Chains A and B, each alone.
Chain A
Amino acid sequence: MDGRRTGSVEQLLAAHEIVIACGSGGVGKTTTAAAAAAMAAARQGGKVLVLTVDPAKRLANALGLEGFGNVASRVPDAAFRQAGITPRGELWAAMLDTKQSWDSLVRRHAPDAGTAGRILDNPLYQNITGRFIQAHDYIAVERLYELHLDGVYDLIVVDTPPTRNALDFLDAPARMADFFSSRLLRMLTVPYKSRLVNFASKPFYQVADRILGTQFLQDIAEFFILFQTMAPGFVERAEAVSRLLHDRRTTFVVVTTLEAAPAHEAEFFIEMLAARRFHLGAVVLNKVLPDYLRDAGGASARLAERLEGGATEAAAALGDGFADVGPAQLARVLTEVAENYLRFQLVAQRESEQEAAFGRTPEVVVSVPYFENDIYDLGGLLELGGRIWS
């Protein structure tokens, strides 16, 4: 598949300012985003930021950062030097702190400090920012927008939050804008603002009262009345964020393994990106088993099958060089080696079928081999990056 592709991740990163990595949980999205950013900083220069959501401690260490927070910190050049590389640019890393980001958003959009304080103190606030309208997704794109607006970075690579539904991230800004202009929000808050209970909403309040209790409903309404004061700023901002995602400087990279479930989700996501007219720059097939297991000609599998049944003969034929090893033990090892090959070959073939089944694919599709060991330093990250790069 790789052979007939013309583009590369290298070109993709050179031509864009924002790269958004997405894919389902457990596919190595965070590491891939960090590796791509590290390569861009090392080879292309400029200021490169990787914005991650929930990095493993190991990844933070690999970047030479003790624990990076909402404020971006620079990966020390020493970490690059240790990997034997003199970077042409700078690599920065920041983590998304959902709660902190929401708080600062509220402070910015509330009409005055008093209202901001009342929102932040509201007991429902934390609950609602934690659960409501995909609060994590929205804040991730919002933060991206802010960083881009600052104009400090030449390239921002974003690792998206794990979502139950890949679409949540894309739809978050629009949904946020919808929410503030919704009739439902008005219906919920109006009766408490005016004491004049809207006739149309009456049955709702009767039922809601019986189930939730008046006090609770009132708490909710009060909170939303406060929240509504931020509407104009929020709506405008959400629309700007949405425009940025569609901007030609922004591209998406879908990361997936070739296991059935993540691959299925990746395909769905690719379709949805197209339907929403986002730019799909690359697909990264991660943790792919090595080629020798795909065994195109079938010779290795035939050998393994022969060995499975005829290990004793093979052990005898090996003879002299293995004098200090009992032939029975040698035969057992050969059998195990053969069986193991057949087991992994089955999985590798499943992967190859999965790869072939990918429908619509972008210009750039890269396969990254299974890294047998975890990545513990920038050198490891750059090695992975090198596999994605060209």
Chain B
Amino acid sequence: MSTSGHLVLCVDDETVGLQVRRMILERSGYKVITALDGQSGLSLFESHPVEAVVLDYAMPGMHGGEVAALMRERKPHVPILLLSAYLGLPPEITSLVNVYMTKGEGAPALLEKLGSLFQN
């Protein structure tokens, strides 16, 4: 598994979930920056040389789909992994992102899917 210190941006409104996810990613060797909502996530995305994004779908204000669309406009090459607590998001949203997975699938699945983004 690649741990080459890629910079990953994590966006989630769940403080605990975000904190735990950060620890998992950091243990795997990623550098992690976090944001608690879409708007601050976007500004971090623009101001930092982010190499991948782990994005939550359900957030107050802007949901993950909207955030992903804006990121694609600005830096289309940055891969996005969309996490959701809901099952069955509409295809027009899942097609925007590189990988889509539901919460609760576990840390190994997350690390594996995130790692696959850098292999391509």
Do A and B bind? Answer: no
